[in-house]
Amino acid sequence: MYRYDEYDQKIVDERVKQYSDQVRRRLSGELTEEEFMPLRLQNGLYMQIHGYMLRIAVPYGLISAQQMRMFAHIARKYDRGYGHFTTRQNIQFNWLKLQDTPAILADLASVQMHAIQTSGNCVRNITSDEFAGVAQDEVADPRPYAEILRQWSTFHPEFAFLPRKFKIAISGGREDRAAIYAHDIGLAVTKNAQGETGFRVLVGGGLGRTPIIGTEICEFVPWQHILTYVESILRVYNQYGRRDNKYKARIKILVKALGIDEFKRQVEADWADLKDGPGTLTREEVDRVASFFTDPAYETLPDHDSRLNEFKADSRSFSHWLQRNVRPHRVPGYAIVVLSLKKPGNAPGDATAEQMDFVADLADRYSFGELRITHKQNLVLADVRKKDLVSLWQEASAQELTTPNIGMLTDIISCPGAEFCTLANARSIPLAKLIAERFEDLDYQYDIGEITLNISGCVNACGQHHIGNIGITGVEKKDHDEWYQVSIGGAEGNDSSISKIIGPSFTFHQVPEVIERLIQVYLRERTEAERFIDTVRRIGHAPFKDHVYAADFDVQEEEVAGKHIVVPAQYDVPYFSPRF
């Protein structure tokens, strides 16, 4: 993976110094909270319900064992012993003190990490395919370009105060695993007919209040020009994006207002005199960065390991795990392993300090010392020898990291919701727990097959509910009570789509039953080999809607006093959400 040279290190170190001074000025009263806010927000520091939340960048999801151990250290020393991996391949710590944050950033800088631009109206952490470099369907490795874009966007002087946040994702496989259609800019590394590398560029995707699937702005931008092309998109957006209404400030609104043709015309007019200028990438620079992403020392191994089959026959859980959590690798004898952070009962994406240390050890012993964080809030060991799978599985099982549910109903994506977030209308984590426990039965999950379920605590859509096959959103009604809207038909990847709401919203305890009914329709209607999403697309919403609302819900709502009864133990803390 990429290693800092003296320039990278200097920039990050100077950032720590600058930020420390900003905190000092805030604590001394020199800066008002209003002035400090945009500064801390450029650094991933939010004020949340319990205190400060720090979001740390894991550039394109790639992390070393040593860096993971630093997360464990931060969790223990400054937080309550755990962290939360997010859909944007970052990690969040929820219980920090402002005065500790400079020390945390210094700790991070010592392992080549930072929290730069993990929030605020700037270019955010660049996300990418969690299987980059090892996927069988890869056209070109997106990681060198992701790193080049990371450097380009870091402290870009012109784009630090955009109308709104700006998210870039980049994928390199034939199948998009980075949700590039749901980003402000989505890039797919491709090859043209002459075999030259370039990018298909999408623009104006985004979720939030107004979910929109990105539109192609250019079919092929040669690799040399990608930085200047992205610069022109940002310049047009910076000048013309709306600033009068933050709900209409994302680039998607500008692209819609102008139309893609006019937007493209403006971008290309701006680009005309940047093209071939000094911002143009050089072969040497791409090669230099790519030299960090060459293959590790793979052994020559047979692709099949007979012991695997034996063990599979013996152990049903292992065989389930192989089927769901282990993915094919492009090198014979190797496999990609997804460690599930979705054990029913736990908060999706949470990991304890012990688990972090543990996965770091696993990475050292089984996967060349590296891990990836997925945009579905799981972890990946990308280079595991097939002959090590049994022992890896045995060890990881002891740490509850082998729930064989990847891509299935209990692999729920969820935002932090009301337990942490001041914007929440709903309790995402307890709801995820309730649903996961209801559908824990593996046979049932395997019967249902591939499905995605996403939960967001409010319209902001941090849980990306618009691109879940089933999406759940917390909505507020006038009585300040929590209500849950259910939608179906969303998807990410090459056939991305935005889900549609099925009808009036539900109470907290009705939701699992609603999902059950949706599944019943699917199981009744599906043709062979049809996934849930395929059935929805084929038969439409009506049969689902009819069935869900056909019968009354026979569920007991909790007493108000016992309202938080389903909160996972580590969240069961004094609670002062403004909403509840």
Partner 1 sequence: MIIKNKAIVADDWTVLRLQENEAAESVQVAAGKVIVPLKVWQAQRGALQQRTEIGVWLASDERPEELQGDIGKFAVIAVDFPKFSDGRGYSIAFNLRARLGYTGELRAIGDVLRDQLFYMQRVGFDAFAPRPDRKIEDALKGLNDFSEVYQTSFDPKLPLFRRVQRKGNQTESSQ
| Residue 158 sits in the site that holds partner 1 (CB under 8 A) | yes
Could you give the C-alpha distances from 287 to 77, 139, 502, in angstroms and in order? 39, 17, 50
**In this complex, which beta carbon is closest to ligand SF4, that of residue 323 or of residue 422?**
422
Smallest distance from ligand SF4 to CB 18, Å:
28
Report which of 193, 224, 178 is spatially closest to residue 202, judged by C-alpha positions.
178
Pairing of strands 45-47, 52-56: antiparallel
Q: Which residue is nearest to ligand SF4 (CB)?
A: 457
Rounded Cα distance between 222 and 70, Å, is 38
What residues from 322 to 381 belong to the interface with partner 1 (CB under 8 A)?
Answer: 368-370
- Sheet with 127-128: list strands edge to edge: 127-128, 168-171, 185-191, 197-203, 215-222
Report which of 245, 171, 160 is spatially closest to residue 208, judged by C-alpha positions.
245
The binder of 424, among ligand SF4, partner 1, ligand HEM, none, by C-beta within 5 to 8 A per type, is ligand SF4
First-to-last alpha carbon distance for the chain, in angstroms, is: 44
The string of DSSP codes covering 210-257 is S-B--EEEEEEEEGGGHHHHHHHHHHHHHHHS--S-GGG-SHHHHHHH
**In this complex, which beta carbon is closest to partner 1, that of residue 122 or of residue 455?**
122
The correct pick among 462, 519, 521, 567 for binding ligand SF4 (CB under 6 A) is: 462
| Residue 9 sits in the site that holds ligand SF4 (CB under 6 A) | no
Q: Which stretch binds ligand SF4 (CB under 6 A): 49-57, 84-92, 441-449, 452-460?
A: 452-460
The binder of 208, among ligand SF4, ligand HEM, partner 1, none, by C-beta within 5 to 8 A per type, is ligand HEM
Smallest distance from partner 1 to CB 450, Å:
33
| Residue 92 sits in the site that holds ligand HEM (CB under 6 A) | yes
| Residue 5 sits in the site that holds partner 1 (CB under 8 A) | yes
Return the sign of the alpha-carbon dihedral for residues 25, 28, 32, 33: positive
Phi then psi for residue 504, to 5 deg, are: -55, 155
Q: How many helices (H) and strands (E) does the chain have?
A: 18, 20
Question: From the centroid of its chain, how far is CA 266?
Answer: 31
What residues from 28 to 57 belong to the interface with ligand HEM (CB under 6 A)?
Answer: 46, 48, 53
Are 198 and 220 in contact, with CB atoms under 8 Å apart?
Answer: yes
| Residue 466 sits in the site that holds ligand HEM (CB under 6 A) | no
Rounded Cα distance between 37 and 127, Å, is 25
The binder of 125, among ligand SF4, ligand HEM, partner 1, none, by C-beta within 5 to 8 A per type, is none
| Residue 47 sits in the site that holds ligand SF4 (CB under 6 A) | no
C-alpha radius of gyration, the chain, whole number: 23
**Beta-ladder partners of 370:** 64
Smallest distance from ligand SF4 to CB 416, Å:
5
Q: Which residue has the tokens 């998210």?
A: 167
| Residue 82 sits in the site that holds ligand HEM (CB under 6 A) | no
The correct pick among 218, 408, 415, 548 for binding ligand HEM (CB under 6 A) is: 415
| Residue 29 sits in the site that holds partner 1 (CB under 8 A) | no
The correct pick among 70, 109, 162, 514 for binding partner 1 (CB under 8 A) is: 162
Rounded Cα distance between 481 and 60, Å, is 38
The binder of 11, among ligand SF4, partner 1, ligand HEM, none, by C-beta within 5 to 8 A per type, is partner 1
The binder of 46, among partner 1, ligand SF4, ligand HEM, none, by C-beta within 5 to 8 A per type, is ligand HEM
Smallest distance from ligand HEM to CB 279, Å:
26
The string of DSSP codes covering 446-491 is HHH-S--EEEESSTT-TT-GGGSSEEEEEEE-TT--EEEEEEE--B
Tell me the one-letter amino acid at 510: Q
Give SS3 for 314.
Answer: helix
The correct pick among 457, 468, 489, 490 for binding ligand SF4 (CB under 6 A) is: 457
The correct pick among 204, 416, 430, 490 for binding ligand SF4 (CB under 6 A) is: 416
Phi then psi for residue 261, to 5 deg, are: -70, -45
**In this complex, which beta carbon is closest to partner 1, that of residue 90 or of residue 121?**
121
The correct pick among 461, 467, 488, 548 for binding ligand HEM (CB under 6 A) is: 461
The correct pick among 168, 212, 421, 491 for binding ligand SF4 (CB under 6 A) is: 421
Q: Which residue is nearest to ligand HEM (CB)?
A: 208
What residues from 95 to 124 belong to the interface with partner 1 (CB under 8 A)?
Answer: 121
For residue 317, what are its two tokens?
A: 């859980």
What residues from 284 to 313 belong to the interface with partner 1 (CB under 8 A)?
Answer: 284-285, 287-289, 291-297
Are 414 and 348 in contact, with CB atoms under 8 Å apart?
Answer: yes
H helices of 473-553, in order, are 511-525, 532-539, 542-550
Report which of 326, 2, 10, 22 is spatially closest to residue 144, judged by C-alpha positions.
2
Q: What residues make contact with ligand HEM under the rule CB under 6 A?
A: 46, 48, 53, 86-88, 92, 164-165, 167, 182, 206-209, 250, 415-416, 420-421, 423, 460-462, 464
Q: What residues make contact with ligand SF4 under the rule CB under 6 A?
A: 415-417, 421, 423-424, 428, 456-458, 460-463
Q: What residues make contact with partner 1 under the rule CB under 8 A?
A: 1, 3, 5, 7, 10-11, 14-15, 18, 22, 35, 38-39, 121, 151-163, 227, 235, 238-239, 243, 273, 278-279, 281-282, 284-285, 287-289, 291-297, 368-370
